[in-house]
Amino acid sequence: MYKKGLTVMMAIGLAFTLTLAGCSGGQNGSSTTEPSKAPEKQSEATSKPQENVTLTFWDENPGPNRTPFYEELIKRFEDQNPHIKVEYVGIPASSNKQKYDVAIAANDTPDVAGINMVWLSDFVAKGAVAELDPYFDAWSEKDKISANMIDFDRGLSADGKLYYLPHTMFLDILWYRTDWVKDAGLNAPDTWDDFFKNIEQLTDIPNNRYGFSIRGGGGSINQLTSMIYAYSGIGEYFTADGKATVNDPKVVEFLNKYVALYKKNTPVSDVTNGNKEMNANFDTSTTAMIQHNFGSYNDHVTNLGTDKFAGLIPPKSDNGKRVVVPVANGLVLFKDSKHPEEAWKFLSFLMSAESQTYWNENIAQMPTNTVSLQSDYVKNTQHIQQGAQVLEDPDTISLKLPFYLPDYTKITTQQLEPDFQKVLTDKMTVESFVKGWADSMEQAQAEYIAAMKK
């Protein structure tokens, strides 16, 4: 089992290395914006360790399944560092990116914050986050974080510097009601045929039961991307000549099937539902299946117990390949922090093995610290082990999403999320949706490549 934990890390490290290869943002890349000035290293002349300091920490996805555990970690940190107080601020997930953008524009950012990985290139381009290389290089526990993962993190920005450290990682997963599937004489949704069949068969609208719940609100495109590539079996976001693959006929085929579920097999409210509403549909026995990620596991256990549901990584495509999108969300230190040394101390505390084990066990996700990966939690959690097995499978492809594009988040949130709602409500065709998606990403990719050549 010890070797299994390391295998998980190596598998994910390989996945991230493959993603990095598609980012074209290595150590020798040139930035299109003026890079952030690296914070100075701690010294007796510049640091006063015992000075009373207050830090602000933003959580980009607060809630009862996360906030209490951050609060406990903050308490532990403050007990060890009585001169440092950390103020926790939860930023509602429905408007988190907008809140961060407003804070950056107003030069009113927190000291340390959790962010979604896809935001990083935008924040770096805006000069908002501090370079972490000086701190990380001097950190005594740096070797406990996979070198492949650190390389991946550097590849998220055009200048190849380290601005971001992930303390948790996950895969998308289908949570489904095993009891309903069994009672209906159906198979687990481990093929796409069974996925759509189960949704149809388990829908009973007169009794307020739906076969599925679609995330149509904030964050919809992240989940949709996982599904369209899993179904199509396409293993690259761009072809070698810079063409986006999102308008492939197999993607169109899937989306036409998928959006046809709306209202017929899903709640009408899905068009605006975010992850909390979607998960609530599952936890209140309104829907038979949802697509989310590892992080909602504990909520499902609390509401349904352990014997009424299970999770499956989205099925293999009909070409025999399983395409997945490993995601590692984590932490940044904002450049405007007045206490960068203390902010790094808190950030590195959250990256430690003890903190990561506590955090990931309580939010049901994978740690990134190799010592934490040896914990009993990792060894004994079914969906974590399933994720490891999937990543070890030679037929699995880790999709290289272009998180390095400064406009990636803008395109997904400002263009594609509202366009997807138009598709669900019959105001836009699937074909127009994916054409706009492909055109915008191709333009962003071309602009990025041109800037890197300057």
Shared-domain flag, residues 300 and 417: yes
Shared-domain flag, residues 261 and 194: yes
Here the CATH number for the domain that contains residue 254 is 3.40.190.10
Cα(264)–Cα(300) distance, integer angstroms: 25
Per-residue pLDDT of the chain (454 residues; tens, 9 = 90+): 434 444 444 445 444 433 333 333 333 333 333 333 444 444 444 455 578 999 999 999 999 989 999 999 999 999 999 999 999 999 998 889 999 999 999 999 999 999 998 899 889 989 999 999 999 999 999 999 977 778 878 878 878 899 999 999 899 999 999 999 999 999 999 999 999 999 999 999 999 999 999 999 999 999 999 999 999 999 999 999 999 999 999 999 999 999 999 999 999 999 999 999 999 999 999 999 999 999 899 899 999 999 999 999 999 999 999 999 988 889 999 999 999 999 999 999 999 999 999 999 999 898 889 898 888 988 888 898 888 888 888 999 988 899 889 899 899 999 999 999 999 999 999 999 999 999 999 999 999 889 888 7
Shared-domain flag, residues 392 and 321: no
End residue of a domain, out of 398, 417, 439: 398
Shared-domain flag, residues 374 and 443: no
Q: Whole domain around residue 374: which residue ranges? A: 2-170+327-398
Q: Is the pTM of this model over 0.85?
A: no
Shared-domain flag, residues 14 and 131: yes
Shared-domain flag, residues 303 and 235: yes
Classify the phi-psi angles of 160: left when phi > 0, otherwise alpha if psi is within -120 to 50, otherwise beta: left
Shared-domain flag, residues 195 and 99: no
Shared-domain flag, residues 301 and 393: no
Shared-domain flag, residues 243 and 154: no
Shared-domain flag, residues 353 and 245: no
Shared-domain flag, residues 253 and 282: yes
Number of folded domains that form the chain: 2
Closest by CA to 198, choosing from 213, 208, 188, 183, is 188
Q: Which residue's entry shows tokens 């309580």?
A: 362
Shared-domain flag, residues 139 and 250: no
Cα(129)–Cα(298) distance, integer angstroms: 32
